[in-house]
Amino acid sequence: MKYTNMNRDELIRRLKSLQAVDIEKATGDKLQKTVHELEVHQIELEMQNRQLQEVQHELEESRNRYADLYDFAPIGYVTLDKKGVIIEINLTAATMIGIERSHLIEAPFVSLVTQSDRKVFQDYLLQCGKDNEKTICEINLKVKKSNPITVQLLSIPVEDSQHKKMLFRTAITDITARKEADENQRQLEVRMRLAQKLESLGVLTGGIAHDFNNMLAAILGNADLALLDIPDEAPVQKYISQIVKVTRRATDLTNQMLAYAGKIELKAMPLNLSRLVGDMAQLLKTIVSKKAIFKYELEKTIPPIEADMAQLTQVVMNLITNASEALAGKEGVIMVKTGIMEANQEYLSSFYKNGDLPAGQRVYLEVSDTGMGMDKETISKIFDPFFSTKFTGRGLGMASALGILQKHNAAIKIDSSPGAGTTIRILFPLAGKTVPETVSELSTPEEWRGSGTVLVVDDEEDVRLMASAMMEKLGFTVLSAIDGVEGVKIFRKHADEIAFVLLDLTMPRMDGVETFTEMRRVNPDVRIILSSGYSKEDSVERFAEIPFSGFIKKPYRFEDLMGKVRTIMEE
Q: Give the CATH architecture of domain 188-258.
A: Orthogonal Bundle (1.10)
The pLDDT, as a whole number, for residue 256 is 60
Q: For residue 393, give Cα distances in angstroms to 216, 387, 396, 399.
A: 22, 9, 8, 13
What DSSP state is assigned to residue 509?
A: S
- CB-based contacts of 84: which residues, under 8 Å, 6+ apart? 108, 109, 110, 121, 122, 125
Q: Do residues 82 and 166 make contact, with C-beta atoms less than 8 angstroms apart?
A: yes
Q: For residue 357, give Cα distances in angstroms to 130, 345, 353, 538.
A: 55, 8, 8, 21
The yes/no answer on whether domain 269-429 falls in CATH 3.30.470.10 is: no
The pLDDT, as a whole number, for residue 513 is 86
Q: Which helix (H) or strand (E) holds 68?
A: helix 28-71
φ, ψ of residue 337 to 5 degrees: the values are -125, 150
Nearest to 325 by CA among 426, 422, 402: 422
Same fold yes or no, 76-174 and 269-429: no
User: Where do the structural domains in the chain lie, given as residue ranges?
Assistant: 8-71, 76-174, 188-258, 269-429, 453-569
- Cα atoms in the 13 Å half-sphere on the side-chain side of 200: 6
CATH class of the region 453-569: alpha beta
- Cα atoms in the 13 Å half-sphere on the side-chain side of 313: 14
Which CATH number is 76-174 given? 3.30.450.20
φ, ψ of residue 548 to 5 degrees: the values are -130, 160
pLDDT in tens, the chain (571 residues): 444 445 556 655 665 565 555 544 555 666 677 777 777 777 777 787 777 777 776 777 666 665 666 677 788 899 899 889 999 988 888 888 888 888 999 999 999 999 999 999 999 988 887 767 788 999 999 988 778 999 999 998 888 766 667 889 899 999 988 988 888 888 888 777 766 776 676 677 677 777 777 788 888 888 888 888 888 778 887 788 888 877 876 776 676 666 656 565 656 788 899 988 887 777 677 667 778 888 889 998 889 998 887 778 778 888 888 888 888 878 888 889 999 999 888 888 888 777 778 888 899 999 999 888 888 878 777 776 655 555 333 445 677 788 788 878 888 888 888 888 899 999 999 986 433 333 333 333 457 888 899 999 998 888 899 999 999 989 999 999 999 999 999 999 999 999 999 999 888 888 888 998 899 899 988 999 998 877 666 666 666 667 788 888 888 888 888 988 998 888 7
- How are beta strands 453-457 and 411-416 bridged, if at all? unpaired
